[in-house]
Structure 1
């Protein structure tokens, strides 16, 4: 979670906004628990969102309780079989 807070501080233009955003994010730990907050930070980091509303939305939707999507699954190649046309078909 420290890495996420560091990124929030880096992405905000004004330090005062960053401090308030970080304080708000850390206050979620009292309401939802540290485990849920850590998972929410992981989700937000995977989307590249570094702000209070992103964490709030993830926690309200209980998205933090879902497993993080695997990046490798999106990068896998299509299976090869006779019904798949290759690039040669379209030339």
Structure 2
């Protein structure tokens, strides 16, 4: 399954490590993690002006204009219960 995360961007749900609210970047460790990935060039902003969430995959971090809870609900629809437990969403 694929998850639509905004704009014209979809990602395979099997690649998702976590979906987080953008406001969690106010946490010092999370902010450092995001900044380090921006410096490495492994981030993609779907909409520069309206980040509501970020999605972490093994190779990329996506900033999305869609709320984390909405993305989690969409992702949940694409998993059977055993796969969903693995992601801890």
Q: Is TM (by shorter chain) over 0.5?
A: no
The structure with higher relative contact order (CA 8 Å, sep 6+) is 2
Between Structure 1 and Structure 2, the one with more helix by share is: 1
TM-score w.r.t. the length of structure 1 is: 0.28
